[in-house]
Amino acid sequence: MLPSSTVENYLKAIYVGETHLAGDQKLVPMGQLATALGIAPGTATTMVKALAESGLVAYEPYNGVRLTPAGEKLAARVLRRHRLIELFLVQVMGMNWDEVHDDAEQMEHVVSDKLIERMDEMLGHPAFDPHGDPIPTADGQLAHRALETLLTCPMNTPVTVARVTDQDAAFLRFIESHNLKPGETIQVEARDEVSDSVVLIGRNDQRITIGARAASKLLVAS
């Protein structure tokens, strides 16, 4: 009864959906789940009912779905694999951070525990992947950091880029080419509601203007 790749993907999407969710209520709506997985809404409903049967999720019709402890354990395992693999591909295989997502997406379902362990050791039990996403520990714990987006962090104060929450290759290449990868130190110089943009001061005092939508995907620590 080991979970299929499909089941693993559903659990992972619900897990991530829960964290993207506003504070208290932890029910992921079917529509959001279907969109995240790129499937038709009806398919999500059918599948989630099956997952509820096997005790991996709690399903409330018309309201949404949430992981049970069993489901969360499995989801964390898959996410751990995904992020370790991404880091491995960048760190050891010398691939670029914008081209590792698809490989990780596939490999996370098939590589042995032994191989994952080897990667983990080789990388020194890392806590974060190349995008700054936390890597769950073997027993499912997530490192928690208090981060802010570029829309909410203090202005004219040096902050460190900690996480980029978008896997789109073109976006990642943009971030990289403007020296905004995790680890870089930057400042927010100005925010403008009207033009919907944020002006940054980056490496070598270079000014970079990005849209608010993009700014919300850059998480920083003060």
Partner DNA sequence: GGCACGATTTTGATGAATCAAAATTGTAAT
Partner DNA sequence: ATTACAATTTTGATTCATCAAAATCGTGCC
Binding site for a second copy (CB under 8 A): 89, 92-95, 99, 102-103, 106-107, 110-112, 114-115, 118-119, 122
Of the pair 1, 93, the CB lying nearest DNA is at: 1
Of 22, 26, 10, whose CA–CA distance to 66 is shortest?
A: 26
| Least distance (Å) between residue 202 CB and DNA | 37
Size of the site for DNA (CB under 7 A): 26
For DNA, the closer of residues 23 and 38 by Cβ is: 38
By the rule CB under 7 A, 30 interacts with DNA: yes
Measured between alpha carbons, how far is 81 from 75 in angstroms, rounded to an integer?
A: 10
Residue closer to a second copy by CB (options 9, 34) is 9
Q: Are 108 and 85 in contact (CB under 8 A)?
A: yes
- Interaction partner, residue 6 (a second copy, DNA, none; CB < 5-8 Å by kind): DNA
Comparison of 103 and 166: residue with beta carbon closer to a second copy: 103
Interactions with DNA, residue window 31-70 (CB under 7 A) = 31-32, 37-50, 59, 61-62, 64
Q: Which is nearer to a second copy, 126 or 140 (CB)?
A: 126
- Please, are residues 98 and 176 in contact by the beta-carbon 8 Å criterion? yes
The b-or-e profile of 177-200 (16+ CB within 10 A means b, else e) is ebbbbbebebbbeebeeeeebbbb
Q: Which helix (H) or strand (E) element contains residue 173?
A: helix 169-177
Q: Cβ of residue 23: shortest distance to DNA, in angstroms?
A: 18
**Binds 99, which of DNA, a second copy, none (CB < 5 to 8 A, cut-off by type)?**
a second copy
Phi, psi of 185 (to 5 degrees): -105, 130
Closest CA to 65 of 37, 25, 35, 105: 25
Shortest separation between residue 130's beta carbon and a second copy, angstroms: 15
Q: If DSSP codes are grouped into helix, strand and coil, which group holds residue 159?
A: strand
Contact residues for DNA, defined by CB under 7 A: 4-7, 29-32, 37-50, 59, 61-62, 64
